[in-house]
Amino acid sequence: MPADKPPDVKFETTHAWREEHVENLVICCSDHRYQAHIDEFVRKGLKCDDFDRLALPGGPHFLLAASYLPKFEWAGRRWLRFLVQHHDIERIICIAHEDCGWYRNLAIGPVTIPLLKNRQMGDLQKITAALKDMFPDIRVHLYYARPNPKGHVEFSEVA
Would you call 109 helix, strand, or coil by DSSP? coil
| Interface map 135-154 toward Zn ion (x if CB under 5 A) | --------------------
Is the CB of residue 46 less than 8 Å from the CB of residue 93?
Answer: yes
**Could you give the CA distance from residue 11 to residue 27 in angstroms, rounded to a whole number?**
27
Site string for Zn ion, 101-130 (x = CB under 5 A): -x----------------------------
Buried b (16+ CB within 10 A) or exposed e, 16-43: eeeeeebbbbbbbbebeebeebbeebbe
Q: Which of 31, 54, 131, 142 binds Zn ion (CB under 5 A)?
A: 31
**3-state secondary structure string, 1-66?**
CCCCCCCCCCCCCCCCCCCCCCCEEEEECCCHHHHHHHHHHHHHHCCCCCCEEEECCCHHHHHHCC
Kindly state the smallest distance separating residue 10's Cβ from Zn ion, in Å. 30
With respect to Zn ion, which residue has the nearer C-beta, 90 or 99? Answer: 99
Which span sits near Zn ion by CB under 5 A: 41-49, 92-100, 106-114, 117-125? 92-100
Residue range at the interface with Zn ion (CB under 5 A); choices 25-33, 42-50, 114-122, 123-131: 25-33
Binding-site member from 25, 26, 27, 29 for Zn ion (CB under 5 A) = 29
Using CB under 5 A, pick the residue from 80, 92, 95, 100 that binds Zn ion: 100
List interacting residues with Zn ion (CB under 5 A): 29, 31, 100, 102
